[in-house]
Chains A and B, each alone.
Chain A
């Protein structure tokens, strides 16, 4: 499978715990995006990487959130001291040399539940 992959697919945690999600983009894609989607809403942009550089962060990304893409390949999104309001689907997307300039391919998402 050469699509975007995310791990884990589901995560249940207690309030106050830290969680980390991983995204593996389509190989050769140099752009990587993180979005968050809550029930009944469309995805909301969180942050963007071009290669290893984090070029844009949404105001939704509080200081409890940190994202990295250390070698310009996979990316991680960490949430520290989770809150119940962090419960959502976290989607990763990539784009780049394959396909049209603007087409972003989404992974299956990581569904986070904070108890």
Chain B
């Protein structure tokens, strides 16, 4: 079983749609959670951190369920510029892991006019 699993998609949605991505992780000791965005042939960039209480940044909402080891990202009112690969990321900082990031394989989103 992969440490971080995502539905690879691709998701093709029209502008203005709401789209949700899901992710599960296997290490119950994981401490920090993130969504990164990666544009084609570019480096990953932090989109947002994910907290147990849920957090929102404009059109983006992230949720964490530690009991189910489940992370989600909701994008409302999709824009053409949201087209990218969204990476679910877990940080196992603490113990001997030294903060390395474990990435899911990414979910491809294409927003079309």
Contact = CB atoms under 8 A, between A and B. Distances in A.
A104 B49 CA distance: 12
B91 A108 contact: no
A102 interface: yes
Contacts of A106: 43-45
A56 B32 CA distance: 19
A44 B43 contact: no
B105 A41 contact: yes
A41, A50, A101, A106: residue with the most chain B Cβ atoms closer than 10 Å: A106
Nearest to A6: B43
Contacts of B49: 100, 102
Interface residues of A, number: 25
A100 B43 CA distance: 19
A48 B98 contact: yes
Chain B interface size, under 10 / 10 to 19 / 20 to 34 / 35 or more: 20 to 34
Contacts of A103: 46
A42 B82 CA distance: 18
Nearest to A106: B43
Interface in A70-86: none
A56 B97 contact: yes
A45 B43 contact: no
Given A107-B43, A108-B42, A43 B101 contact: yes
Given A55-B98, A100-B49, A42 B103 contact: yes
Contact of A102 (B45, B91, B104, B106): B91
B4, B43, B99, B105: residue with the most chain A Cβ atoms closer than 10 Å: B43
Interface of B: 4, 8, 32, 34, 42-46, 49, 87, 89, 91, 93, 96-106
16 contacts: A33-B101, A35-B101, A42-B87, A42-B103, A42-B104, A43-B87, A45-B100, A48-B98, A56-B96, A56-B97, A56-B98, A102-B34, A102-B91, A102-B99, A104-B101, A106-B44
Interface of A: 31, 33, 35, 40-45, 48, 50, 55-56, 91, 93, 95, 100-104, 106-109
- Minimum-distance CB pairs A-B, first 10: A42-B103, A106-B43, A45-B100, A102-B32, A56-B98, A48-B98, A43-B103, A42-B105, A102-B91, A41-B105
